[in-house]
Amino acid sequence: MTMPELDTGEIFAVDQGKQERRFMPTFAEASKDTIGELEEDVALLARVRNPFNYNRTLTICNGTHSRGVLGAVRALTDARIREANESYLASRFPEGEFAVLLRVPVFQGAAVSPDLQNPDNILYAWPEARPERASQVLP
């Protein structure tokens, strides 16, 4: 969703009944001489069954900015945190399909791998697959 107050990327929005919840990155306070630096980006990490090959999954990594995309990827690939994050995802989404919006900290312009066990880093989660698929664990 394009927002006039954010001209550097698209934001994530979730319909919650009659309301819409928007997830925006955060920036440091700008001075009259500088643009505020990105402090936290928003990322989407999702895994769903591949509609073209039922025995496989698709993993989607996206973000408001490139640091969000990198944070989503690193949540599953950074050797320092991936096992704990995979364990979290397996216990939270035992059916294997999920989508989570993540807070990705940015330190000195670089994305920090988000720790999914920190509840502050989970902005929103789609907790379960449809009930008819709940007993089928994805590969």
> Average pLDDT for consecutive 10-residue bins of the chain (139 residues)?
65 86 87 76 96 93 95 97 96 93 95 96 75 45
Question: Is 139 within the bounds of a domain?
Answer: no
Range of the structural domain that residue 71 is part of: 36-133
In one-letter notation, the amino acid at residue 20 is: E
Please count the structural domains in the chain.
Answer: 1
Per the domain annotation, does 88 fall within a domain? yes
Tell me, yes or no, whether 127 lies in a domain.
yes
For the chain, percent helix, then strand, then coil, each to nearest 5?
20, 35, 45
What is the widest separation between alpha-carbon atoms in the chain? 57
Quote the pLDDT of residue 132: 43
What are the residue ranges of helices labelled H in the chain? 66-77, 82-92
Give the pTM: 0.81
Q: Is the distance from CB of 67 to CB of 103 less than 8 angstroms?
A: no
**Which three-class secondary structure state does DSSP give residue 24?**
coil
